């Protein structure tokens, strides 16, 4: 069985883009093709991540539409939807198709427009986001995702003594990292004091504990070892060492341990086993910090710190650039931005650049193994991907 490799990456800036979805995606897709040094006719399949196009774009047939726009119509196309884990799920299927010998080169992309350019203002878009919560038990109560993760984080604070200052330190760290990422939506630093003076969105989260709505696109080309070898004049490739994908119960009230994010633990176990590594082997990670508390829960679930210690990790510098396990050198969702369908693939773009040594000022020294953690809904879906420097 061949090992899947990432041979090309591309990504737009994240922020507000007043242009059609297809144009936004094409920028990332063509950048990935150019980065790989191949032509579009080498692409055997196209797997798209887009979570909300049916609601925001009024388009439920996006994969062939975007394939047409970037010149790959005729190959098998599929759109994946798994809430915020959408494009990581598309990536997983591309990896499995390449490993099985079904395809040699697969374009994997994610794209979303979440700002008012869609015609939907913040209240309407918040409602669209909330459609990833439980339809009968949670949506009718008005529970949106700041509230979902606020509840999970409040429980963590109760059990482990995590403080609002600890949460604010996560935002401070990721905004500092974001200043070194020219594609980040927020490239300015902030302070714990500024965050704690902000308005409450959903306790314990204040405004700056929450990631923004964003527009953006990201793309990677997944290829077999043989196809990658034929691109020797292009960028060095990165191997996909393991991918884990797990789910948990959807109603928040049914979770056995609200602070455990069980789907992340299960997906990480799968990915570590496939890659033949342990959590301590990871050099750099991109995790799904839709809220500051989500990063705290994620680094515990991934085994980077012991349960209950996640709250202090940013305060102590453990997860900062130069720390024991740098987390979200891109700025994460918090500073880089969160265009739902593009987020998972954007994490893979960042890790590929890190493992190539192309991350500029935010480069993690001697990074050889990277991990991406992308969750969907109220932590009911998680995809964990492990990448490593190709041998």
190-232: pLDDT as tens digits? 999 999 999 999 999 999 999 999 999 999 999 999 999 988 6
Mean pLDDT for 121-134 is 82
Confidence class of residue 124 from pLDDT cuts 50, 70 and 90? confident
Mean pLDDT of the residues in the chain: 95
Q: Binning pLDDT at 50, 70 and 90, where does residue 135 land? A: confident
Q: What pLDDT is recorded for position 252?
A: 81
What is the mean pLDDT of the segment spanning 83-93?
97
Choice among 103, 156, 160, 338 that is catalytic: 338
Q: What is the mean pLDDT of residues 377-390?
A: 94
* pLDDT of res. 133: 74
Domain 5-119+214-238 and domain 141-211+242-389, same fold? Reply is yes
Residue 149 has pLDDT above 80, yes or no: yes
What top-level class would CATH report for the domain 141-211+242-389?
alpha beta
Percentage of the chain beyond pLDDT 70 is 99
Higher pLDDT, 277 or 129: 277
Output the pLDDT for position 236: 79
User: Is the pTM value of this prediction over 0.95?
Assistant: yes
Give the pLDDT mean for 161-187: 98
Choose the catalytic residue: 84, 114, 210, 290.
Answer: 84
Q: Which of 1-5, 104-108, 299-303, 325-329 has the lowest mean pLDDT?
A: 1-5
Q: Active-site residue 84, yes or no? A: yes
Residue 234: pLDDT above 70? no
Q: Which pLDDT does position 324 carry in this prediction? A: 98
Would you list the domain boundaries of the chain? 5-119+214-238, 141-211+242-389
Higher pLDDT, 371 or 258: 371
Percent of the chain with pLDDT over 90: 83
- Residue 137: which pLDDT band, with cuts at 50, 70 and 90? confident
Determine the pLDDT at residue 232: 61
- Of 256, 343, 346, 292, the closest CA to residue 146 belongs to 292
Residue 233 has a pLDDT of 64
pLDDT value, residue 268: 98
Task: Give me the pLDDT at residue 134, please.
Answer: 78
In this prediction, residues 312-330 reach a mean pLDDT of: 98
| CATH architecture entry for 5-119+214-238 | 3-Layer(aba) Sandwich (3.40)
């Amino acid at each position: 069985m061949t090992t899947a490799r990432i041979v090309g990456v591309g990504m737009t800036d994240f922020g507000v883009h007043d242009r059609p979805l297809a144009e936004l995606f094409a920028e990332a897709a063509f950048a990935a093709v150019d980065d790989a040094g191949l032509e579009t006719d080498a692409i055997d399949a196209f797997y798209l991540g887009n979570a909300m196009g049916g609601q925001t774009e009024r388009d439920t047939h996006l994969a062939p539409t975007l394939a047409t726009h970037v010149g790959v119509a005729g190959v098998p196309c599929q759109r994946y939807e798994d809430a915020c884990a959408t494009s990581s799920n598309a990536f997983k299927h591309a990896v499995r198709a390449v490993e099985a010998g079904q395809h040699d080169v697969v374009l994997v992309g994610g794209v979303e427009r979440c700002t008012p350019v869609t015609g939907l203002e913040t209240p309407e878009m918040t409602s669209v986001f909330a459609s990833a919560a439980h339809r009968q038990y949670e949506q009718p109560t008005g529970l949106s995702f700041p509230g979902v993760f606020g509840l999970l984080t409040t429980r963590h604070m109760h059990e482990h003594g995590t403080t609002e200052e600890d949460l604010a330190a996560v935002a401070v760290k990721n905004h500092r990292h974001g200043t070194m990422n020219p594609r980040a939506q927020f490239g300015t630093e902030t302070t714990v004091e500024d965050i704690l003076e902000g308005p409450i969105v959903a306790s314990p989260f204040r405004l700056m504990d929450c990631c923004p709505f964003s527009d953006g696109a990201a793309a990677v080309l997944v290829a077999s070892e043989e196809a990658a070898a034929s691109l020797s004049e292009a960028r060095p490739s990165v191997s996909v060492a393991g991918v884990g994908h797990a789910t948990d119960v959807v109603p928040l009230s049914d979770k056995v341990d609200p602070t455990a994010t069980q789907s992340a633990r299960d997906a990480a176990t799968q990915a570590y086993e496939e890659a033949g590594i342990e959590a301590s082997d990871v050099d750099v990670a991109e995790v799904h910090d839709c809220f500051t508390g989500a990063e705290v829960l994620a680094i515990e679930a991934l085994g980077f710190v012991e349960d209950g210690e996640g709250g202090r990790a940013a305060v102590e510098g453990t997860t900062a650039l130069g720390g024991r396990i740098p987390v979200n050198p891109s700025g994460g969702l918090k500073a880089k931005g969160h265009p739902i369908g593009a987020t998972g693939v954007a994490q893979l773009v960042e890790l590929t650049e890190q493992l190539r040594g192309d991350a500029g000022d935010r480069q993690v020294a001697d990074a050889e193994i990277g991990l991406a953690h992308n969750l969907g809904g109220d932590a009911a879906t998680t995809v964990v991907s492990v990448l490593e420097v190709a041998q």
